[in-house]
Chain A
Amino acid sequence: MVALVIAEHDNASLKGSTLHTVTAAAQCGGDVHVLVAGSNAGAAAAAAAQIAGVSKVIVADAPHFADGLAENVAEQILALAQGDAYSHILAPATAYGKNILPRVAAKLDVAQISEITKVDAPDTFERPIYAGNAIAYVQSSDKIKVITVRATGFDAAAATGGTAATETVTAVADSGKSSFVGRELAKSDRPELTAAKVIVSGGRGMGSGEAFKVLEPLADKLNAAMGASRAAVDAGYVPNDWQVGQTGKIVAPNLYIAVGISGAIQHLAGMKDSKVIVAINKDPEAPIFSVADYGIVGDLFDVVPQLVAELG
């Protein structure tokens, strides 16, 4: 049995989600290979070769892999998966992995198992359904298991200590059916939301985008990433990629501070695996208090500055 992990990277470095996916792949019980499909992605490939537990890094380098277009990357994976070379194909359950992997599964005529949180056996996996309100144990009868991995379910593999061999393969041709036009990335000096140890999140209770500034000193003190509920995003207070929840990012930090967030099912789906949850809300009946370890009932505009002062 050999598992193939599809590395998510920006050509220069690997994304953290790749390390969590390697851990899940190792639990499937065989060798772990990593595919780095990119353009001038030598640095990313070198980083992949250092991950503990990886035995081989496969590099496909071509200009049409630069932006991770699903049509091209999926074809490259299929070329590698010929002849049952791999028993498992895994990718992180990020926008990148979710976009590409179902294409691979369909071409292989196998089901995909999305967002696994646990490997019980090489063919049996746990995954949340209904916005995390139920956990399904699913067994695959397919010859090749195609899987996306929820990063918060698995520890990150060590980024160093590995000594994988690197093999360069011939890149598949450009599909020519889609092309990359441009990218608008939100700039932030804060830790990445999905990797942060502490997250400070605001909801509709913030009242305005301007009011999110109240949270900044708190986030600074805790070296926290900033998140938001869908209500805050839809109201235009903060950008889309701050959204935590069923349809946004799934996070599990050590400390999650929910400020002015009522706690709808869809939001809880994205953060209820956090180690410690703190809720600050003026409504004592807000559902967020049913999952919070510590709650303060009060006006966030009073409580948050007090918290900052207490943190010194």
Chain B
Amino acid sequence: MKVLVPVKRVVDYNVKVRVKSDGTGVDIANVKMSMNPFDEIALEEATRLKEAGKVTEVVAISCGVDKCQETLRTGMAIGADRGILVQTDVELEPLAVAKLIKALADKEQPQLIILGKQAIDDDSNQTGQMLAALLGWPQATFASKVVLEDGKATVTREVDGGLETLALTLPAIITTDLRLNEPRYVTLPNIMKAKKKPLDVTTPADLGVDVTPRLKTLKVVEPAKRSAGIIVPDAATLVAKLRTEAKVI
């Protein structure tokens, strides 16, 4: 069985981003970029399924600027067998990405596509679900456990009150939550090997997909700042302040 894993290049999760002073967006020039953490979990899961003999090939896909090739190389160092870059300088929305991956899925005919549940830059949490809809496949979002057997995927999901388990007919879409696994560190030998793995580059036009944005970002602003607080010496003062000053208890 073949598995596709879409991965996104995002601002590293440890970076505190700054809003540009002209309000056109956040300043991502010269900041560290990394693979979206949820996508690392997706690749790790696909790689583990391959190591367990359930999967024969893992293909990493990224959509975006040329530098996404670095993200794909990282993906191949984790365990993907090859990479596909859909190269474009257009800012892609989840719907456009879902259409691009659908076009690739039509060619590659995977049985499973594993995505991260959300990207930590736009915080949309849409692409996996949209892709499932476009392909007409079932979905299990926010997965914390995946079992593949008998042509079915049995997936435990993290929902608001606890956990729930679904059974999906393959082919299917799974999106990963944080607790699905602990992604491995990429080792130097694997980074070297990853450089030799095949990486194909295509474009939205080659795939026949229109990626024109549907949403217009009018402006991006900093969130309201909280006014500076005070340090109180002891519990008695705190309780007094909460009662008389803040009036919240």
Contacts and interface: CB of A to CB of B under 8 A. Distances in A.
Interface of A: 67, 69-71, 74, 94-96, 98-107, 109-115, 124, 128-142, 175-186, 194, 198, 222, 230, 233-234, 239-241, 246-247, 249, 254-255, 265-266, 272, 275-278, 284, 289, 291-297, 303, 306-307, 309-311
A185 B162 CA distance: 4
B234 A296 contact: yes
B222 interface: yes
B216 A294 contact: no
B220 A177 contact: no
A71 B178 CA distance: 23
A118 to B, nearest CB: 12
Interface residues of B, number: 80
Contacts of B129: 70, 98-103, 106
B218 A230 contact: no
A247 B217 contact: no
B184 interface: no
Contacts of B246: 255, 275-276, 293-294
B178 A177 contact: no
Interface residues of A, dominant DSSP: mixed
Contacts of B127: 102
Contacts, number: 257
A111 B93 contact: yes
B174 to A, nearest CB: 11
B140 interface: yes
B217 A136 contact: yes
A291 B226 CA distance: 6
Given A106-B95, A114-B126, A141-B215, A294 B241 contact: yes
Contacts of B137: 177
24 contacts: A70-B129, A74-B133, A95-B160, A99-B142, A106-B95, A106-B134, A112-B94, A129-B220, A131-B123, A134-B223, A138-B217, A139-B216, A176-B169, A177-B168, A177-B172, A178-B168, A181-B165, A234-B179, A240-B163, A246-B123, A265-B14, A289-B231, A295-B230, A311-B249
Given A103-B139, A230-B178, A296-B234, A134 B134 contact: no
A222 B231 CA distance: 21
B124 interface: yes
